Amino acid sequence: MARLVMKFGGTSVADIERIRNVARHVKREVDAGHQVAVVVSAMSGTTNQLVAWTRETAKLHDAREYDTIVATGEQVTVGLLAIALQEMGVSARSWLGWQIPILTDGAHGAARIQEIDGAGLIERLEEGQVAVIAGFQGLGPDQRITTLGRGGSDTSAVAIAAAIQADRCDIYTDVDGVYTTDPRIVAKARKLDKISYEEMLEMASQGAKVLQTRSVELAMVHRVRLQVRSSFDAPDAPHILAGEIPGTLVCDEEEIVEQQVVSGIAYSRDEAKVTLLNVADRPGIAARIFGPLANSSINVDMIIQNVSDDGKYTHMTFTVPQAELARAEDVIRKAKDEIGYEDMGTDLNVVKVSVIGIGMRSHCGVAATMFETLAEKGINIQAITTSEIKVSVLIAAEYSELAVRALHTAYGMDAE
Ligand code: ASP
Ligand code: MG
C-alpha cells in the first residue's frame, strides 16, 4: 500500500466527462489499496475568465478580492469530482484550502505556502476516504483566501505530498511526460524517463511550461518524487493496471543511471531587452541601475556591459520579463539623473534559448557547441548567461524555432 497524491490540471477536468475519467483514475488507485489525496485545478479557461472579469471591473483592484474571485474555479471542480467519485462507490470529500488549512503568507495573488498540518487529512485517508483538495488556494494571515499565482495547483499538490508524507506525487497533465524540448517545435523531441530536480527546475524557469517552477523547487527541498504523466491514458489500460507508469519521473540525480551531458532545451518568449546607451564607465553605475529595479521587485535576468571605446562611456543591456517592462522603464526613467545615461531602447522581439544538463558540471565544450551551432545558422547572439548546469542565449525571436531544432540535433538528442 502506498500513499499517493494525484494532481489533475485544467484540461483534465474541462468537462463532466473528463471529470468522470479523472474519477476512474482515482478509483483505480483506491482499488489497488492505496491512500489517495487528489488535487485539482479549475476547468480549463475558467481562471482566465475570472481574471478577465476582475480586470474588467477595475484595472487596479484590491488583491484580496481578486483572490476571493479567482479561487472559485477550484471550488467547483473539487465538488464535482467528489460527487463523481461517490457515484462510483468511492468514499470521498472535498477540501478547500482554508478547511485543511493550507496556511500561506499574505502576498495576495502570489502567496507562498508556509504550513500545512497534514494530520486531519491523514486521519481521513487512513479511514479509506479520498481527499479531493482545491489547488491554487490557501488561507492568509489576515484570515482571507489567498492564491498561489497562475499554475499554482502544481505547487499545492507538491506541498500536500510533503505534508502527508506521500510516497509519490503524480502530476496528470495533457502531455505524457517531460520532453527534451517542446515536441510542437521539434518533431524528434524525446520523452525523458527521468530528470533530476535541478534540471527540471532550470527547464521550468527557462520556459518549459510543464510544471510551475515553484512546485519543482518545493519538490526538490522536500525530496518529493514527482511523476509527470498523461491524464488521457485510459484509466484501465493494461499497462497502467500492471503498474507501469509511462511518464517522466523527477527525482534525485543519484537515481539517474544514464546521465546525459545535455538533457533538454528550453525557450522563453517572455523576455524583454532593455539597452541603456552611453552610461558612464565608472564604479557604482551598475548599482544605480539595478538597485532601483531590485527595490521594485523587478527580476533582471541577463546582463551585459559592453566594453567602452574611450574608457568613459559604455552601453548596458539587460533583460526583464515582458510583463515587467513598463514598470522597469518607469523605474529607469525616474533614476535617469542619478544613472546618467543618454538614451534607453527596448526590444520585445527576442527569445531566450537555454541548453540544460547536469553533465555540464563535468564536461567542457557545451557552450562552444551552442555558439558554433548558432553561428552556422547565421544567428546572432545578443546576450549570454550561464549557470553550473545551463547556458542561455538571447536571440531575435524569428530564429527561435530554427535555433531550438539545430541545437537539439547538435547535442545528439534527436529521436531515431
Ligand atoms: N487554475 C489556476 C490557473 O489557471 C491554477 C492552476 O491551474 O494551476 O492558474
Ligand atoms: Mg498547470
> What is the 3-state secondary structure of 91-127?
CEEEECHHHCCEEECCCCCCCCEEEECCHHHHHHHHC
Let me know: does 265 contact 373? Beta carbons within 8 Å: no
Measured by CA distance, the residue closest to atom 4 of ligand 1 is 47
How far does residue 282's CA lie from ligand 2's centre (Å)?
45
Sign of CA dihedral 216, 218, 221, 223: negative
> What is the rounded CA–CA span in Å between residue 139 and residue 149?
14
How far does residue 40's CA lie from ligand 2's centre (Å)?
10
Domain with CATH 3.30.2130.10 in the chain: 259-416
CA distances, 388 to each of 4, 202, 267, 382, 392 (Å): 33, 11, 18, 21, 11
Give the predicted TM-score (pTM) of the model.
0.89
Residues at CB less than 6 angstroms from ligand 1: 9-10, 41-42, 47, 73, 135-136, 150-154
Domain with CATH 3.40.1160.10 in the chain: 3-254
Let me know: does 353 contact 407? Beta carbons within 8 Å: yes
> What is the rounded CA–CA span in Å between residue 252 and residue 197?
6
Find the ligand nearest to 136 CA: 1
Least confident piece of the model among 77-86, 356-365, 377-386, 405-414: 356-365
- Residue 142 has a pLDDT of 96
Count of other CB atoms within 10 angstroms of residue 256? 18
Q: In the chain, how many H helices and how many E strands?
A: 14, 20
- Residue 367 has a pLDDT of 94
Least confident piece of the model among 193-202, 205-214, 307-316: 307-316
- Residue 297 has a pLDDT of 86
How far does residue 153's CA lie from ligand 2's centre (Å)?
7
The string of pLDDT tens digits covering residues 292-344 is 999 998 999 999 988 777 778 999 999 999 989 999 999 999 999 999 999 99
CA-based angle 104:109:113, to the nearest 5? 20
Q: Which of 41, 70, 158 to mutate to test the pocket of ligand 1 (most atoms within 8 A of CB)?
A: 41
Find the ligand nearest to 109 CA: 1
Task: Give the DSSP letter of residue 306.
Answer: P
Higher pLDDT, 47 or 244: 47
Sign of CA dihedral 362, 368, 371, 375: negative
Q: Which of 153, 160, 172 to mutate to test the pocket of ligand 1 (most atoms within 8 A of CB)?
A: 153
- Given pLDDT bands bounded at 50, 70 and 90, which one contains residue 174? confident
Average pLDDT over residues 267-286: 92
Find the ligand nearest to 67 CA: 1
- Residue 95 has a pLDDT of 98
How far does residue 409's CA lie from ligand 2's centre (Å)?
29
Measured by CA distance, the residue closest to atom 5 of ligand 1 is 151
Supply the mean pLDDT for the chain: 94
Closest ligand 1 atom to Cα of 148: 5
How far does residue 212's CA lie from ligand 2's centre (Å)?
7
| Residues of the chain above pLDDT 70, percent | 100
Query: 392: part of which helix (H) or strand (E)?
Result: strand 390-396
- Is pLDDT at 413 greater than 90 in this prediction? yes
Closest ligand 1 atom to Cα of 48: 4
Non-local (6+) Cβ contacts of 341 within 8 A are: 276, 277, 278, 279, 316
Find the ligand nearest to 45 CA: 1
How far does residue 307's CA lie from ligand 2's centre (Å)?
43
For domain 259-416, which architecture applies? 2-Layer Sandwich (3.30)
Q: Which amino acid is at 67?
A: D
> What is the rounded CA–CA span in Å between residue 220 and residue 225?
9
Backbone angles phi, psi at 302, to 5 degrees: -95, 140
Average pLDDT over residues 74-79: 98
In terms of C-beta distances under 8 Å and separation of at least 24 residues, what long-range contacts does 11-15 make, across chains too?
11/44, 11/173, 11/174, 11/231, 12/41, 12/172, 12/173, 12/174, 12/231, 12/232, 13/40, 13/41, 13/42, 13/43, 13/44, 13/77, 13/80, 13/81, 14/43, 14/44, 14/45, 15/43
Average pLDDT over residues 264-286: 93
How far does residue 306's CA lie from ligand 1's centre (Å)?
41
Rounded to 10°, the helix 400-410/366-376 angle is: 130
Q: In angstroms, what is the C-alpha Rg of the chain?
A: 23
The CATH class of the 3-254 domain is alpha beta
Q: Which of 43, 46, 47, 211 to mutate to test the pocket of ligand 1 (most atoms within 8 A of CB)?
A: 47
Average pLDDT over residues 403-414: 96
Closest ligand 1 atom to Cα of 150: 9
* Residue whose grid cell is 468537462: 15
Find the ligand nearest to 73 CA: 1
- Given pLDDT bands bounded at 50, 70 and 90, which one contains residue 256? confident
* Residue whose grid cell is 486521519: 123
Pairing state between β 35-40 and 3-8: parallel
Rounded to 10°, the helix 72-87/16-31 angle is: 60
Q: Which amino acid is at 18?
A: R
Let me know: does 152 contact 136? Beta carbons within 8 Å: yes
The string of pLDDT tens digits covering residues 101-129 is 999 999 999 999 999 999 999 999 999 99
